[in-house]
């Protein structure tokens, strides 16, 4: 079962910052999950449309220029990073799940990804593009089918993972509150990986492993990895 550091090691460091990502890399995670918005002609790594929760700013992201955003404190003196800064830091080290939030121009996204692959030696297969915006995922697949996509949902779909299969997704990403044995079985029968968010409690981690999910997103990747290692050791003894 893969461990993705949710917004980096966000349980102990400011989320979606290079500091949080370095902490996750130090824990030897399998992957890092980040959130991306477009601001002007830049892609910035931040989760919310509103700035107050995670930065020293107020108001909405869309009312700030890129330079104004870079002047904000994202926690412990960190700046809001750009996507290329994150890709440069993680190249050849782990998978990167880029959750697409406010993306207006997919050509700009492809420019960032193509640059990372060409100039940072980033492996294309280490990039996973996910979103709740399924129309955006469909457009990405039509335009650049070589990129791997993951379909997010925050509900329990009537037809289980069929929606993700229709999108030609690699993986389906489901809220821990809605995961079930039937959903996992259905997704696997459709050839999909099952990734579950956000899983921090040891009881939930144990349950996800028992269900056979393929990966979890955790705010505390070190703790999660330690618990999985404990489960494996116990099963071998």
Question: In 3D, which of 6, 60, 54, 62 has the Cα closest to residue 33?
Answer: 6
Catalytic residue among 6, 126, 173, 227: 6
Query: Which one from 37, 47, 173, 227 is the annotated catalytic residue?
Result: 47
Instruction: Please tell me the pTM assigned to this model.
Output: 0.97
In a domain, 68, yes or no: no
Q: Residue 59, exposed/middle/buried by CB under 10 A (0-12, 13-18, 19+)?
A: exposed
Mean pLDDT, consecutive 10-residue stretches, the chain (237 aa), reads: 99 99 98 99 98 99 99 99 98 98 96 98 97 98 98 98 99 98 99 99 98 99 95 81
Residue in this structure with the two tokens 């440069």, named with its chain if needed: 88
* 22 within some domain: yes
Would 99 be classed as within a structural domain?
yes
* Residue 182 annotated among the catalytic residues of the structure: no
Please state, in angstroms and rounded to a whole number, the distance separating the CA atoms of residues 1 and 62.
Answer: 37
pLDDT at 51: 99
Would you say residue 129 lies in a domain?
yes
- As given in the structure block, the two tokens for residue 219 are 């705010």
- Residues 9/222, Cβ–Cβ less than 8 Å: yes
Residue 103 belongs to domain with CATH number: 3.20.20.190
The parent domain of residue 140 ranges over 2-36+94-236
Structural domain contains residue 7: yes
DSSP label of 64: S
Give me the pLDDT at residue 234, please. 84
Q: How many CA atoms lie within 13 A of 166 on its CB side?
A: 7
The alpha carbon dihedral of 231, 8, 56, 105 has a sign of: negative
For 195-229, give one letter per residue: b (16+ CB within 10 A) or e.
bbbbbbeeebbeebbebebbbbbbbbbbbbbebbe
Number of domains in the chain: 1
Residue 112 lies in a domain: yes
DSSP 130-147: EES-HHHHHHHHHH-TTS
User: Is 6 annotated in the active site?
Assistant: yes
E-strand ranges in 21-109 read 31-39, 42-45, 95-100
Give residue 237's pLDDT.
63
169 located within any domain: yes
């Amino acid at each position: 079962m893969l461990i993705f550091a949710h917004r980096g090691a966000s349980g102990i460091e400011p989320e979606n910052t290079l500091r949080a990502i370095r902490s996750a890399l130090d824990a030897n995670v399998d992957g890092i999950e980040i959130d991306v918005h477009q601001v002007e002609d830049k892609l910035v790594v931040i989760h919310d449309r509103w700035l107050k929760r995670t930065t020293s700013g107020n108001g909405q992201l869309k009312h700030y220029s890129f330079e104004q955003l870079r002047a904000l404190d994202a926690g412990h003196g960190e700046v809001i990073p750009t996507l290329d800064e994150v890709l440069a830091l993680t190249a050849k080290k782990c998978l990167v799940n880029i959750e697409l939030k406010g993306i207006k121009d997919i050509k700009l996204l492809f420019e960032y990804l193509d640059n990372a692959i060409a100039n940072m030696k980033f492996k294309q297969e280490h990039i996973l593009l996910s979103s709740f915006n399924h129309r955006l995922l469909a457009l990405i697949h039509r335009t650049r089918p070589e990129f791997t996509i993951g379909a997010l949902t925050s509900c329990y779909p009537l037809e289980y993972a069929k929606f993700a299969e229709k999108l030609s997704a690699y993986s389906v990403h489901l809220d821990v509150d809605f995961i079930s044995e039937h959903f996992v079985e259905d997704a696997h029968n459709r050839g999909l990986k099952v990734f579950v968010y956000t899983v921090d409690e040891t009881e939930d981690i144990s349950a996800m492993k028992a269900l056979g999910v393929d990966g979890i997103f955790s705010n505390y990747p070190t703790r999660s990895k330690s618990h999985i290692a404990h489960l494996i050791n116990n099963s071998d003894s």
